[in-house]
Amino acid sequence: MSTQDELKKQTGYRAVDDYVRSGMVVGLGTGSTAYYAVERLGEKLKSGELTDIVAIPTSIRTKEQAESLGIPLVTLDTHSKLDVAIDGADNVDPGFNLVKGGGGALLREKMVELAADTFIVIVDESKLCDGLGPGFPIPVEITPFCHEHTIRVISDLPSCAGCKPVLRMGSSSNNKCDGDEIAVTDNGNYIVDLHFTGNIKNVPKMAADLKRVCGVVDHGIFSGMTSAVICAGNEGVTVTTPQKKDKIIFNVVVASAVATSIALIATAISRRR
């Protein structure tokens, strides 16, 4: 197993160990990192450490893996609310915005993960970035009908200015666009990968603009959804939550406000003397 796979395994196992309890409805992500969370869940069900679990897979690949491990599966049609969903990501920025869909599963992932009370993102440290855009192209799932027109409409959006749209070829589960055939998602759609050379200036605006294009089914920007990021690196595994980060920022702001006030009072006192 490569070092990167070892890190992926650490995050996948940690997510199941920390966040999955007996009796839960669990969303199963897609990709080489989520693979290990599914593996761990199967292992714990088999050993009896976890019982009474049902899971919702986010792709045909994950469904097949879960079935092979004997994990009981349901769908959003019968279970509209999940306790927890665990999935990888292609990029994570400091504001917990994600790029997903490198494996072509973004639509089912977003549907399932939006329905979860807690959404745990599992990544190795190579996925962390300063800003979305240059690190990984933004996948957009579009209908096959007149897809060239839809791609033109997307590239004409002011919020997508400067992006290079590339229709995904070959397998939907890589963003390399190799192969002679257009890649088709589990939902029968195409994917266009938007390549940016610099950081996207206004991620929420771009996400909203993309969503409004008729012909776009959904996009791979997942904002405001993350409950925690479990990240494995050479230094170990860290768990970061938006609340924890806000608290740190708040503490820094309060500390600097207190320091400024003390300095002002000290200056005022020394002037009086």
Ligand X SMILES: O=C[C@H](O)[C@H](O)[C@H](O)COP(=O)(O)O
Reported as type and span, the H/E element at residue 87 is strand 82-87
Q: How far does Cα 178 stand from its chain's mean position?
A: 24
The question of whether 64 is a catalytic residue gets the answer: no
Q: In sequence order, what are the residues at sequence separation of 6 or more whose Cβ sits closer than 8 angstroms to the Cβ of residue 148?
A: none
Q: Least CB distance from residue 39 to ligand X, whole Å?
A: 13
Shortest gap between Cβ of 267 and ligand X (angstroms)?
Answer: 53
Residue 208, classified by CB atoms within 10 Å of its CB into exposed (0-12), middle (13-18) or buried (19+), is middle
Which C-beta is closer to ligand X: that of 90 or that of 200? Answer: 90
Beta strands in the chain, from DSSP E residues, in sequence order:
25-28, 54-57, 82-87, 91-92, 98-99, 116-124, 138-142, 164-167, 190-195, 216-219, 221-222, 228-233, 236-240
One residue of 27, 42, 57, 101 binding ligand X per CB under 6 A: 101
Indicate which residue of 109, 141, 181, 235 is catalytic. Answer: 109
Of residues 29 through 58, those in contact with ligand X by CB under 6 A are: 29-34
> x/- site string to ligand X, residues 8 to 27, per CB under 6 A?
--------------------
Nearest to 119 by CA among 11, 45, 26, 17: 26
Asked if 193 touches ligand X (CB under 6 A), the answer is no
Element at 25 (helix H, strand E): strand 25-28
- Residue 182: name the closest of 218, 143, 156, 215 by CA: 143
Closer CB to ligand X, residue 20 or residue 38?
38
Contact region for ligand X (CB under 6 A) — 96-104, 179-187, 189-197, 246-254? Answer: 96-104
SS3 content of the chain, % helix, strand, coil (to 5): 40, 25, 40
- Contact segment (CB under 6 A) with ligand X among 37-45, 98-106, 194-202, 230-238 equals 98-106
Task: Please say which residue, 102 or 135, places its beta carbon nearer to ligand X.
Answer: 102
Judged by CB, which is closer to ligand X: 191, or 200? 191
Q: Which of 90, 141, 186, 218 binds ligand X (CB under 6 A)?
A: 90
How far is residue 219's CA from residue 206's CA, in Å, rounded to a whole number?
10
Name which position in 27, 57, 88, 133 contacts ligand X (CB under 6 A): 88
Stretch that binds ligand X, among 71-79, 94-102, 153-161, 247-255 (CB under 6 A): 94-102
- What type of residue is 87? D
89 counts as binding ligand X under rule CB under 6 A: yes
Among positions 103-162, residues that touch ligand X (CB under 6 A) are: 103-106, 109
Three-class secondary structure of residue 231 per DSSP:
strand
Report the catalytic residues.
Answer: 109
Which residues contact ligand X (rule: CB under 6 A)?
Answer: 29-34, 87-90, 100-106, 109
